[in-house]
Homo-oligomer: A and B are copies of this chain.
Amino acid sequence: MEGKQRVSKETLEVNLRELKRQYKEILALNLSLNMARGKPSPAQLDKSMELLQYPKSFTLRDGTDVRNYGILEGIPECREFFGELLDLNPDHIIMGGASSLNLMFDTLASHCLFGTGGSKPWSYYKYEGTPVKFLCPVPGYDRHFTCCEELGIEMITVPLLKDGPDMELVKKLVKEDPMIKGIWCVPLHSNPSGVCYSDAVVTELASMETAADDFRIFWDNAYGVHHIYEEVPLKNILKECAACGHPDRAYYFFSTAKITFPGAGVSLVASGAGNIAELKKHMSAQTISHDKINQLRHVQYFGTPEKLKLHMKEMAAELKPRFDVVLRKLEEGLSETDLATWSNPKGGYFVSVDTMPGCAKRVVSLAKEAGVVLTGAGATYPYKKDEADSNIRIAPSYPTVEELEKAMDIFVLCVKVAGTEKLLNEQ
């Protein structure tokens, strides 16, 4: 904030008066804009409508009728399709229902109820008064944190650096504390800051020494094929874990929520042979099979992984102009101030903005009053507590480019108002 300190109180007051005048003008417009939700736009959804013409036949190559009961782990055709797309062993994939979050929650809940690999049920530790802990790279995905909170798993934040979690800190913590049983990771185009894990980070996660034998990496590759500006490679965590002698360390989650239809796609979990056998055993008590018609629908519609990737290029073409607006408006409005920094994602669904400490809530509140709904400040932190009150998640996917132009002008103005207020208060 070196530059700012030279600005006099009088100048700040003049600036703030002008900013508030502009803000008042906007209030009068009674706008209703929303940059809160990581939802595909209707134009994106339209691109998958032909999916619903499938399946055109219902018999698998082994003769199974997908319209009837059976095949808990999902149809082989679908496991092979995603195995090829993601470089996973189809035999170590279980297809879930429409939601990978559901698979993550259920996997975590099953560890709480039953333990894993012969370990004590994780709930048992809570019962004894020493709850299990998870590492949460921040800023991160609020629904991961909600899973932990719901299940009584204590969350320990670790900073998410530009190539992954702060591995020095992670390695130290997991080596020391046997109650740390896992870590949440969104390894590509992370929510919200767009971080992509480097090969070195993947290797360290796979190889590091952990005090807990039942330490698990929850690898939510939600944006694994969701490149916008640049296709970013990702080292294969499952292979790396196996190579490092920890074949059951990681659970790999994926879904087509943001490929075809959110809430009506297919999801999967992949892991080592031991974990998969264990999950199947638990899942066999929970259900008979997931929606095989929808699995076959997706396989027949896409045909090949290459076609899915082409489909994602069309999605990127919808998203890019929206991200362009957000990044351009931030650049134009704030690059010459010290009021905020922001991410430059290569893909995914979000732009992450860090205001000056203590300003995020104020910005979100000012924006809301002016008709622009943002994700709640703090939502990207466990227990919704961003100690610095600085991080704001911007979701550009749903609004139109025109709406984003307006919404971002307001956002930038709100950052300026809140920042100038703070500078004045500090004088």
Taking the closest CB of chain B, its distance from the CB of A204, in whole angstroms, is 30
Which of B98, B149, B292 is A97 in contact with, Cβ under 8 Å?
Answer: B98
Q: Which residues of B contact A284 (CB under 8 A)?
A: 146
- Interface size of A by CB at 8 A reads 50
Which of B39, B68, B151, B264 is A294 in contact with, Cβ under 8 Å?
Answer: B264
Which residues A42-74 have CB closer than 8 A to chain B? 42, 45, 48, 52, 65-70
Q: Which residues of B contact A92 (CB under 8 A)?
A: none
Contact segment of A105-113, A318-326, A364-372, A374-382: A105-113
Q: Does A261 contact B (CB under 8 A)?
A: yes
Q: Which residues of B contact A69 (CB under 8 A)?
A: 37, 39, 257, 262-263
Q: Does A159 contact B (CB under 8 A)?
A: no
Contact A263 B285 (CB under 8 A): no
Contact A113 B105 (CB under 8 A): no
Contact A45 B65 (CB under 8 A): yes
Q: Which residues of B contact A102 (CB under 8 A)?
A: 286-287
Contact A263 B286 (CB under 8 A): no
Q: Which residues of B contact A263 (CB under 8 A)?
A: 68-70, 288-293
Q: Does A402 contact B (CB under 8 A)?
A: no
Q: Which residues of B contact A264 (CB under 8 A)?
A: 66-67, 291-294
Taking the closest CB of chain B, its distance from the CB of A67, in whole angstroms, is 5
Contact B67 A286 (CB under 8 A): no
Contact bitstring A326-353, B, C-beta under 8 A = 1, else 0? 0000000000000000000000000000
Knowing A263-B288, A287-B101 touch, does A65 contact B37 (C-beta < 8 A)? no
Q: Which residues of B contact A286 (CB under 8 A)?
A: 101-102, 105-106, 109, 147
Contact B45 A68 (CB under 8 A): yes
Contact bitstring A93-134, B, C-beta under 8 A = 1, else 0? 000011101100110010011000000010110010000000
- Cα(A69)–Cα(B151), bound, Å: 24
- Cα(A67)–Cα(B105), bound, Å: 23
- Cα(A65)–Cα(B289), bound, Å: 27
Taking the closest CB of chain B, its distance from the CB of A24, in whole angstroms, is 31
Which of B40, B70, B98, B127 is A290 in contact with, Cβ under 8 Å?
Answer: B98
Q: Does A150 contact B (CB under 8 A)?
A: yes
Q: Does A282 contact B (CB under 8 A)?
A: yes
Contact B150 A282 (CB under 8 A): yes
- Cα(A152)–Cα(B66), bound, Å: 33
8 pairs from A and B in contact (CB 8 Å cutoff): A97-B97, A98-B290, A105-B287, A109-B113, A112-B113, A151-B285, A262-B288, A264-B292
